[in-house]
Structure 1
Amino acid sequence: MKWNSSHKAAGQHVHQPGDKHAHAAGDGHNHTHGGIFGKNTELIFSLICGGLIGIGFGLSFIDGIPPLVSMIFYITAYFFGGYFTAKEAAQTIARGGFEIDFLMFVAAIGAAILGSWVEGALLLFLFSLGHALEHFAMEKARKSIAALTELAPKTALRKDGNGTNEVPIEALRKGDVIVVRPNTKIAADGVVVKGSSSVNQAPITGESIPVDKEPAPEGSFKIEETGKLDDKYRVFAGTINGNDLLEIQVSKEASDSTLSRLVQLVNEAQTQKSPTQQFTDRFERFFVPAVLILVVLLCFAFLVVDETFSTSFYRAMSVLVAASPCALAISTPSAVLSGVARAARAGVLIKGGRPLEDLGSLTAIAFDKTGTLTEGKPKLTKIMPLKTDVTEVQLLKIVVAVETLSDHPIAKAIVRDGKEKLGGEDLPAAHDMEAVLGKGIKAALGNDAIFAGNLALFESLDESKPSAEIVAVVRKAEQEGHTTMLIRRNQEYIGMIAVMDTPRAEAKGALEALQREGIRKMIMLTGDNQAVAEAIAAQTGITEARGGLLPEQKVEAVTQLAQQEGKVAMVGDGVNDAPAMARSTVGIAMGAAGSDVALETADIALMGDKLSLLPFAIGLSRHAKKIIQQNLIVSLGMVAILIPLTILGIATIGPAVVAHEGSTLIVVFNALRLLAYQGK
């Protein structure tokens, strides 16, 4: 994943508690692996190597075919399997270091010198295959920055004199006024100075319902202090205007916009390595030079031991083959591949080894609300008549008839769900609709004047204000997280309706399953208000809810949770979740509902958009982590046994190769057990 997956792009990670391990671009195996077959050349070379080994080995059993034919296939396999290994070994040496790449290459040469061509080619095949798949996964994640930067339009309509000119967003300066047409993306952070509209802020704040915007009173703000203004006056680059024209005074240049900060936050957490890979890196730093020194010394053992040079050289080559950590090299990739394949069959995309390992170590998870724990769209949740002579059906018909005239997103949700509840019943025809931005609407229905809106509408409308009892009913619904709408016919308050972004059907069960998997702490981070957050938390079983958060504040919350718990996952589906995902130990995106950025930035994607898959993924990860640990013990244990045996001459090249390849098979078959994982 990381979802990403130990696969984050270039840039230097800033250490924070709970961050993924830092690893500067260009370290380790971060080399170019393109070639004649494009960016997948290494993978194709590896598969060709494996095919040539199989053909050569098969031909060796056919009578009448000279051994030279099989030898030609093995030598060719050496080229394809060893090309990138030799290339990386040379680059490592040029930097003054040694890695397993170099040791594997030298071991393959040693095996060839001793006539063990099959064993040498197999070493190169398995090693190159693991590397190729690792680099293939890494390349996938480098699109996250590109996906973020594409959110904002490249140009803006800047007012100049009495007209407008289209200019690049980089040319915008603080104080410029831009014109934003209906249903287009907003090009810069700023303050509305003319026009009123509903703006979809979900790409930045994650709010489930578009926010009504209106002009800030003239002279009420300084351009340097727009952050203190009410949200109804402010807009963000990358958000989407509704159906009306807006004029916006730019408050931040393109390089400093909220969207640009998102890009920076994601970029800061782009370069990490798998925990096991970090261990093997540390191990090989000492192991590879030590083995090479030992092999050189053994070549000259005939000077101090009564034996021939050929005997000393043979022993040295036996040690070199025995010390080649082939099983170690594939112990993690084989388990990762099996785990990723098993997860994919269940509809979970895991982007590499680091998230697969880290997911099993989690004790805390942070969730976005909208589209993650909830459906991500408002639904009609309450129809409450306030007069005894008005039924639910009558109230609903009145509301749907009036709201049909409005193009506000909430109105559309009411009409959609209302018509579904009413079936095919005829609706009365309303007319003469007038909108009161941010408060509600007024329309005529027959001879009656119908008002529908929030409490603020009726507080300023006339002297016929709602009673204290009605206000209490509305306030109670709002505290439960509902967006309410009072309905007045002429002077009578006849009912209340409410909409709400409702929890996913599987959310509560999924969170209970996560607790059984050992997740101790689950918190919700959302841009919606605290009342809405707490209402959803109560319905889903979330242990803590934090509302009213911008992307930077979500990052701070994830960092704080990591300080408390050590490792933390972030589950989300929006662009606003991307920085928090990148800063978390494991970023998890809801698939079908997720934005491109969230999917690219995340380490794990629930492809079927099913939250219920998360407990399965964590259980699989924990099983995979155990298998990786077992594989490390087997691979390192075999090397620890074989090296002394070959030095003492107890084991020669034949037994060393058998034991060496035997440990490799054990590691592979152990890893394949993950394919049969069924969950709890």
Structure 2
Amino acid sequence: MTETTKLRLDLPLILPGIDDVEDRCVERLTQALEGRPGVQEAHIVRDAAKTPQLCVHYDPGVISLTRLRELIGSVGGMLSERYSHLLIKASQPMHARAARRVADDLRRVPGVMEADVGASGVIRIEYDRDQVSEDKLLAAAADLGVPGQAIATGRPPTPSGHGHANAHDRDHKHDHAVDAKGEDGHEHKEDKHTENEPTSNDHDHDHDHEKGEDEEHGKGGDHAGHSHEHGGLFGEKTELIFALMAGALLLAGWLLGRGGVGPNWLPTAFYVGAYGFGGYYTVKEAFDNLMARRFEIDTLMLAAAIGAAALGEWAEGALLLFLFSLGHSLEHYAMGRARKAIEALAKLAPETATVRRESGTEEVAVSKLQVGDVVIVRPNERLPADGVVVVGTSSVNQAPVTGESVPVDKRPIEDGKAALAAFDRVGPEHRVFAGTINGSGAIEVMVARRSEQSTMARVVKMVTEAEAQRSPTQQFTEKVERIFVPAVLVMVGLLMFACFVIDEPFSASFYRAMAVLVAASPCALAISVPSAVLSGVARAGRGGVLVKGGGPLENLGTLTSIAFDKTGTLTEGKPKLTEVSAAPGATEDELLAVALAVEEHSDHPLASAIVTGARERLGDRVKPAVASEVKSITGRGVQAKVDGEDVYIGKPVLFSELPGAALSVEVKEANDKLVASGRTTMVVRKGQRFLGVIAVMDTPRPVASDVMAQLRALGIERLIMISGDNQQVADAVAKSVGLTEARGDLMPEQKVEAIKALREKHGKVAMVGDGVNDAPAMANATVGIAMGAAGSDVALETADVALMADDLAQLPFAVGLSRSTSRIIKQNLFVSLGVVAVLIPATILGLNIGTAVLFHEGSTLIVVINALRLLAYQGSGASAAGRNRL
């Protein structure tokens, strides 16, 4: 049975203002969590003080504490800082085997709950801040031979989307009123504790070690230096140079022995020198493993080399150590390539910016920019910060952040300071990002975020964190290795004494045992999966797609069903008022005036369409009405008071649920006619009178049909739309873009049930949305994909895969890359396990060590080179996101 970890959180702190366990929001929260892979159970319990608590049972091997925290936050959580996480970037990459050893050692540190180490040198630690500090963890990593520096997360303040209203009311397609719960601007005291620990409220709220650039570099200064695997006389190239020197000495010894030049001992002396250079790092790692009571691949290789020397086969032992050390150094090179691809993202933003002051202009370091500063960006310069354009017009190449190949036109916004408070809702024509490239016009930008909180900085941090997270296949291969290596040692031990069973000298049995030892060492297996995952995550990041680790990457590469939200995903998300049908006894002006008064209190897209359309039609000829007591009716519509009378605006089904409010024949006929034409309708009633029906329409995205065709070509069999709009509208949109199925009239909880049903029927399903309205449905999908994540904190935190641009055409690129990654992982596993399966019986039957070494190390090189192919992935057609990245 899978071992689970329990986590308890006080319910009023997750859902401010909600302490009733019967509240539907509580049920929605537990449903969203229970449907998530890795979460076995989520239920409500009470502590000794009778405070309701959310208790979550989760498998840390499938879902990390960070991801769980993000999911709870996206549904409405406000989590404490007792459990934090630390990212450490080691000075150099390391081998997959060394990474696993370091991770195991870190998990033994008191207070560390989870630890993952990537081969690229990224260490990710979940820890209890009451038991261990960041400084102690940095020191522990340095003591383990991997000095490095903490990576600042740059997490901005909790967005309003995490309040109760946004998480629960805004996921309804027509709940226009904004609930004030959880969005009152107050800071809420937070706490969290595990099943067996007391709640602690007195914590340092330095979330995720936010720090400026100076502090970050200072932190790294105490632990600077090369990692023990690759540091030395020639810096990070030392191991490669040592390997090449071993090869040169091996070749010289072989030529001298073959030519009979010099004394008989001379070739052996060269082989001994090859042993020294080729085995230097192998001995170091083997010693570290033995001290930790581990038998790793390095130990097996060293034992085989010593065995060959004991038999007088110095040349074969030197060949083994030469190729093994060369393979090690090339693994290091491969990890470095993928690591540099990610580091290149961080270097896109300039180091200085020109700031406008009252006395003129001043050049300052980007790290010193403050929110509200106005920076001048000249033509063809890179933008230094996230912000809004306040002066000038230009086109900006946003490919470095979003992957869009076409520059985006920018123009000034009227009120820059007001826009900073809601940066993620600012229109794309006003919003710019650090690292993007200005076109031919000079512009002035008001800074919305500090440098460490920019979209680019957060993407780099999240991609870096994803490097350290193990994929399901990687976890499987590590379990196999833990069983396989001891089994190999037992088999080799038995083969050494084969001379007592068959008629042969001990030296022959010993030689065969050493050959089997080489053949059975799963070197290629150890590097096959992490190299592919790292390359895939790095390539996705370069293409404007953020993939949070190997799990989502592998799952997206194997699933055959994708569900889509309609509004803003398959459609433009900018509905327009198209028809107004007044009921008998009412006028069009009265209908529009009442609708305008109520809907202008909401920022919902449908409400905005009604407000904009009503103002255009009414002009100045009608005096505006005044609405009060506006509140939403979950999944149905909105209620308010206008002129002292109750006003209801909502779906036709709303009026079948209200007492004495059945639709009149005329209103029903008008509504049915508009619905049949694919319109989204809202009925308006004031007091006891129906005023009529308002219809809006949201047009499909122009690229939607092409995207669906590409997804089908990639092997996606089911393309399903789930929508809160009526079935006729859903069918009309589905038919126009080429979906296989459409499900309309769904309440938010029904969307969750639809995703769960798809998972039960088809195994895996992805959900594509905007990361805000459909957070519970996305959380229940195998892979949640958020569009338009650039600048959106909620989308970045909610999604497993984030498409940085609001461009559906990036989806085939993400799916295609994931498909390629899955294929390469399978190919690598086939090569690595296949070579071992062939070499073991071959060496038992007499294949010599030299030939076994060539095949063994050759397979390692093959899987590494195969994985690096992902860095050059282009996709095809509209899906080739990031092809024109600079």
Asked whether the two chains share a fold, i.e. TM above 0.5, the reply is: yes
1:661 deviates by 1.5
Partner residue, 2:60: 25
Q: Compared with structure 1, are the counterparts of its residues 454 and 554 closer, same or farther at alpha carbon in structure 2 (3 Å cutoff)?
A: closer
Retained in 2: the 8 A contact 1:572–1:588? yes
Q: Compared with structure 1, are the counterparts of its residues 563 and 471 closer, same or farther at alpha carbon in structure 2 (3 Å cutoff)?
A: closer
Residue 52 of structure 1 is aligned with which of 238, 249, 255?
A: 238
Partner residue, 1:355: 552
1:346 deviates by 3.2
- Distance in 1, matches of 2:758 and 2:579, equals 39
Amino acid at match of 2:852: A
Deviates more, 1:35-44 or 1:662-671: 35-44
Residue 786 of structure 2 is aligned with which of 572, 584, 589?
A: 589
Partner residue, 1:477: 674
1:634 deviates by 2.0
- Distance in 1, matches of 2:664 and 2:530, equals 68
Partner residue, 2:707: 510
- Distance in 2, matches of 1:43 and 1:362, equals 41
Matched residue of 1:25: which SS? coil
Matched residue of 1:574: which SS? coil
1:545 aligns with 2:716: no
Residue 664 of structure 1 is aligned with which of 856, 860, 866?
A: 860
- Distance in 1, matches of 2:649 and 2:798, equals 40
Partner residue, 1:160: none
Partner residue, 2:514: 317
Retained in 2: the 8 A contact 1:81–1:128? no
Residue 484 of structure 2 is aligned with which of 277, 287, 290?
A: 287
- Distance in 1, matches of 2:733 and 2:547, equals 28
Partner residue, 1:110: 303
1:334 aligns with 2:531: yes
Matched residue of 2:626: which SS? strand
Q: Compared with structure 1, are the counterparts of its residues 368 and 123 closer, same or farther at alpha carbon in structure 2 (3 Å cutoff)?
A: same
Give the alignment of 1:379-458 within 5 angstroms. Answer: 379-383=575-579, 406-409=600-603, 412-414=608-610, 416=612, 428=620, 431=623, 433-435=625-627, 437=630, 438=638
Give the alignment of 1:131-530 within 5 angstroms. Answer: 274=471, 276-277=473-474, 280=477, 283-284=480-481, 286-301=483-498, 303=500, 312-376=509-573, 378-383=574-579, 406-409=600-603, 412-414=608-610, 416=612, 428=620, 431=623, 433-435=625-627, 437=630, 438=638, 472-477=669-674, 480-484=678-682, 498-500=695-697, 502-526=699-723
Deviates more, 1:363-372 or 1:500-509: 500-509
- Distance in 2, matches of 1:287 and 1:121, equals 22
Retained in 2: the 8 A contact 1:105–1:124? no
Partner residue, 1:639: 836
Retained in 2: the 8 A contact 1:327–1:663? yes
Unaligned runs of 5+ in 1: 1-8, 94-101, 136-271, 388-393, 444-450, 459-465
Q: Compared with structure 1, are the counterparts of its residues 467 and 315 closer, same or farther at alpha carbon in structure 2 (3 Å cutoff)?
A: closer
Amino acid at match of 2:239: I
TM-score normalised by structure 2 residue count: 0.45
1:54 deviates by 1.5
Retained in 2: the 8 A contact 1:400–1:414? no
- Distance in 2, matches of 1:19 and 1:662, equals 37
TM-score normalised by structure 1 residue count: 0.57
1:53 deviates by 1.3
Partner residue, 2:817: 620
- Distance in 1, matches of 2:797 and 2:513, equals 48
Retained in 1: the 8 A contact 2:289–2:296? no
What percent of counterpart residues are identical? 44
Retained in 1: the 8 A contact 2:759–2:765? yes
Partner residue, 1:571: 768
1:609 aligns with 2:801: no
Retained in 2: the 8 A contact 1:379–1:417? no
1:110 deviates by 2.3
Amino acid at match of 1:644: P
Retained in 2: the 8 A contact 1:331–1:632? yes
Matched residue of 2:484: which SS? helix
Amino acid at match of 2:754: A
Amino acid at match of 1:105: D
- Distance in 1, matches of 2:778 and 2:599, equals 40
- Distance in 2, matches of 1:513 and 1:597, equals 28
1:545 deviates by 0.9
1:382 deviates by 0.8
1:287 deviates by 3.1
Matched residue of 2:620: which SS? coil
Retained in 2: the 8 A contact 1:638–1:663? yes
Amino acid at match of 2:748: L
Matched residue of 1:433: which SS? coil
Tell me the alpha carbon deviations over residues 580-601 of structure 1, each in whole angstroms, 9 at most, x when there is no partner.
4444333322242796455445
Matched residue of 2:625: which SS? strand
Matched residue of 2:854: which SS? helix
- Distance in 2, matches of 1:17 and 1:486, equals 37
Retained in 2: the 8 A contact 1:433–1:441? no
- Distance in 2, matches of 1:478 and 1:109, equals 75
Q: Compared with structure 1, are the counterparts of its residues 303 and 496 closer, same or farther at alpha carbon in structure 2 (3 Å cutoff)?
A: closer
Q: Compared with structure 1, are the counterparts of its residues 273 and 565 closer, same or farther at alpha carbon in structure 2 (3 Å cutoff)?
A: farther
1:330 deviates by 2.2
Retained in 2: the 8 A contact 1:18–1:568? no
Amino acid at match of 2:680: H
Amino acid at match of 2:720: I
Retained in 2: the 8 A contact 1:384–1:496? yes
- Distance in 2, matches of 1:80 and 1:578, equals 49
- Distance in 1, matches of 2:715 and 2:607, equals 42
RMSD: 5.6
- Distance in 2, matches of 1:334 and 1:506, equals 33
Q: Compared with structure 1, are the counterparts of its residues 597 and 326 closer, same or farther at alpha carbon in structure 2 (3 Å cutoff)?
A: farther
Retained in 2: the 8 A contact 1:331–1:628? yes
- Distance in 1, matches of 2:680 and 2:226, equals 53
Partner residue, 1:208: none
Q: Compared with structure 1, are the counterparts of its residues 320 and 104 closer, same or farther at alpha carbon in structure 2 (3 Å cutoff)?
A: same
- Distance in 2, matches of 1:56 and 1:671, equals 25
Name the structure, 1 or 2, with higher relative contact order (CA <8 Å, separation 6+): 1
Retained in 2: the 8 A contact 1:20–1:585? no
- Distance in 2, matches of 1:380 and 1:660, equals 64
1:349 deviates by 2.6
- Distance in 2, matches of 1:126 and 1:86, equals 24
Matched residue of 1:608: which SS? coil
Amino acid at match of 2:240: G
